[in-house]
């Protein structure tokens, strides 16, 4: 089973507006240098600084691209390796290692983290929760927290609706080891007293479920044979040329991530290539402006 590289991106580390501002500054300096003021060769040479800086940033993005490709390859190897029986080993495998675990869910201790956006068959983002449920081995000696995936918002308040997605008895889960999430700058802290969860903090979730703080967290993986429905590409996918065909959205609840989604970063190698091309183009443009300004200074000298 292969893992393709997703085309969607969500984070732009250096925006196009920043690049254009940089170009405007460089061109403005070059324009002022040619306005008739007398400059020394040294001051004229300073006009090359914007070009050098842009070239440095372009090269840095190319280095980031190579680094990201290595990370992707390492993660692919982990995700495609034979799964480890988590309850049969004493030491927790590295993050993103594939594991299996068999046991019984304690649905009474399930935690709903969010709200979170998830893709829908309509091609838009729906608000939902992530449901994290303790799973205990048959002998009762081992427990893991399982992030089972996205569920509708109504699951938190409607026990009847969520009952259809709560398997009873022994189940076997295939997933990957995770270390939880870091809270963003604007994410409020979790409220253990009210059982309100904004991000996945493994130790806090384990404490609320009456488990040890070092209880491992496993993120379930969507089964390859899960039923799917076709969704149209989003506007951004069409405009960005990233939609080759109609993607399919799994029609299951809870909805775990796929292997492709787990093998994805917010900024992919292709994005680093685009950023590098932007900066190197700006480097060439500002270099041309600097050369023009220097020649004008030399003619007036």
**What pLDDT is attached to residue 253?**
86
Cis peptide before 62 (omega within 30 of 0): no
**257: closest CA among 176, 200, 144, 137?**
176
> Measured between alpha carbons, how far is 279 from 25 in angstroms, rounded to an integer?
14
Mean pLDDT by 10 residues, the chain (301 residues): 38 53 55 53 73 96 97 93 96 96 97 84 71 97 97 92 92 96 92 95 97 97 62 52 52 85 90 96 90 74 59
Taking the alpha carbons at both ends of the chain, their separation in whole angstroms is: 68
The three-state secondary structure class of 57 is helix
Computed on alpha carbons and rounded to an integer, the radius of gyration of the chain in Å comes to 26
Query: HSE-up of 95 (CA within 13 Å, CB side)?
Result: 7
The three-state secondary structure class of 177 is strand
> Measured between alpha carbons, how far is 23 from 14 in angstroms, rounded to an integer?
13
> Measured between alpha carbons, how far is 212 from 145 in angstroms, rounded to an integer?
11
**What pLDDT is attached to residue 176?**
97
In the chain, where the domains are located: 17-22+40-78+268-300, 82-226+252-262
Rounded to 5 degrees, φ, ψ at 99 are: -140, 160
> Measured between alpha carbons, how far is 77 from 294 in angstroms, rounded to an integer?
53
Cis peptide before 115 (omega within 30 of 0): yes
Report pLDDT digits (tens) over 11-64: 445 555 566 555 555 555 555 554 445 556 666 667 788 899 999 999 999 999
Torsion over CA: 161, 209, 199, 186 (sign): positive
**298: closest CA among 47, 41, 49, 31?**
41
CA distances from 147 to 56, 86, 178 (A): 42, 15, 9
Q: What is the pTM of this model?
A: 0.74
């Amino acid at each position: 089973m292969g893992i393709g590289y997703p085309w969607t991106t969500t984070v732009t580390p250096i925006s196009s507006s920043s690049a254009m501002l940089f170009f405007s500054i460089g061109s403005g300096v070059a324009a002022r240098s040619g306005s008739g003021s007398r400059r020394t060769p040294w001051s004229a040479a300073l006009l090359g600084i914007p070009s050098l800086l842009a070239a440095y940033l372009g090269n840095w993005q190319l280095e980031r691209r190579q680094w990201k490709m290595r990370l992707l390859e390492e993660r692919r190897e982990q995700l495609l390796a034979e799964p480890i029986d988590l309850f049969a080993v004493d030491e927790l495998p590295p993050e993103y290692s594939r594991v299996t675990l068999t046991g019984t869910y304690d649905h009474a201790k399930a935690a709903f983290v969010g709200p979170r956006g998830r893709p829908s068959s309509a091609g838009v983002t729906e608000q939902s929760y992530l449901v994290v449920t303790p799973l205990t081995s048959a002998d009762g000696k081992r427990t893991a927290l399982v992030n089972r995936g996205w569920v509708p918002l109504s699951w938190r308040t409607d026990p009847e609706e969520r009952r259809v997605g709560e398997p009873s008895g022994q189940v076997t889960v295939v997933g990957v080891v995770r270390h939880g999430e870091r809270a963003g700058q604007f994410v409020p802290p979790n409220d253990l007293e009210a059982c309100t969860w904004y991000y996945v903090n493994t130790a806090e979730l384990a404490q609320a479920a009456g488990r040890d703080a070092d209880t491992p967290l496993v993120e379930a993986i969507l089964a390859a044979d899960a039923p799917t429905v076709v969704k149209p590409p989003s506007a951004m996918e069409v405009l960005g040329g990233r939609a080759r065909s109609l993607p399919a959205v799994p029609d299951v609840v809870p909805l775990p991530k796929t292997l492709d989604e787990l093998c994805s970063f917010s900024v992919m190698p292709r994005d680093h290539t685009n950023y590098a091309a932007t900066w190197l183009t700006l480097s060439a443009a500002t270099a041309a402006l600097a050369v023009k300004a220097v020649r004008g200074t030399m003619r007036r000298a």
